[in-house]
Amino acid sequence: MTELPHIESLRGGTTAAIVAADLDLKTALAQETARRWFARTLSMRSPLDPALPARPGRPEKPELIPPKHMEKRSLHTLKGRIALLHALAHIELNAVDLALDIVARFTTERVPHSFFDGWMQVAFEEAKHFRLIRDRLRDLGADYGDLPAHDGLWQAAHDTRNDLTARLAVVPLILEARGLDVTPTLQAKMRETGDDASADILDIIYNDEKGHVAVGAKWFRFLCAREKKDPSATFKELVRTNFRGPLKPPFNDVARAEAGLTPSFYRALVSVSQS
């Protein structure tokens, strides 16, 4: 069992988790900070809180390479399934830090405590997802860090570090929503290959991610309402300013709508060449 440092506050616990390069410590800190916050045994901030780092703590591996250099592999081979699970583990690890960062960075924002409840639930579940996938990789004779990974996800956090509404538009409502689009197909392919254990993990992730997108949509609408702005128009404007590249179909319209993300938000952002 990883021994945890003393957690001073919500901001302190989330920042310590972001800083941690040991991934067992990172996920344990994320979940313990969430538990203590839910139990209302933590203050929001403390004078002893560490400063937020420019980048989250990471182990030496995996090697980070540009997305275009990532190798494509068939899921019908063990190597291909390991490569997919490794890529998913990397996404989930970044999702842990992104959820923690939205809490730690915006504790001075004028929002209700329930905002932080929602994002700590997301952080708790992303930590669970990372552990599930890492354990599955180990079952298959591999581990996180064995293959290269790409570094595009953290860029979204960096680009929206000064604007909570933009962060909500880009991270949960684009990046997380993309998971709703692609996961059902991956689940089906895993089951076709007979890898039900991996498909079962994708089921858990898929159902949790609907809730994560819903948290993003709820608070995005809240902030727009407070500023008396139209959510759909504001989303389009923020995405064009803060997101690199077009949104790519196909979209899982049903799952997105269940999470509060209706087509009026994203359909107009698909590039003409892809519609």
pLDDT digits (tens, 9 = 90+) for 218-237: 999 999 999 999 999 999 99
CB 92 within 8 A of CB 128: no
Q: What is the pLDDT of residue 246?
A: 74
| Domains (range + CATH), the chain | 71-274 (1.20.1260.10)
pLDDT digits (tens, 9 = 90+) for 7-54: 989 999 999 999 999 999 999 999 999 999 999 999 999 988 889 998
Q: What is the pLDDT of residue 92?
A: 95
Q: What is the pLDDT of residue 248?
A: 83
DSSP-based helix, strand, coil % in the chain, nearest 5 = 65, 5, 30
Q: What is the pLDDT of residue 3?
A: 76
Q: What is the pLDDT of residue 251?
A: 92
Q: Which two tokens stand for residue 209?
A: 């991610």
Q: Which amino acid is at 266?
A: Y
Classify the C-alpha dihedral 60-55-126-193 as positive or negative: negative
pTM to 2 decimal places:
0.93
- Ranges of residues in the chain with a pLDDT under 70 are 1-2, 69, 271-275
Distance CA(227)–CA(68), nearest Å, equals: 39
275 CB-side CA count, 13 A: 9
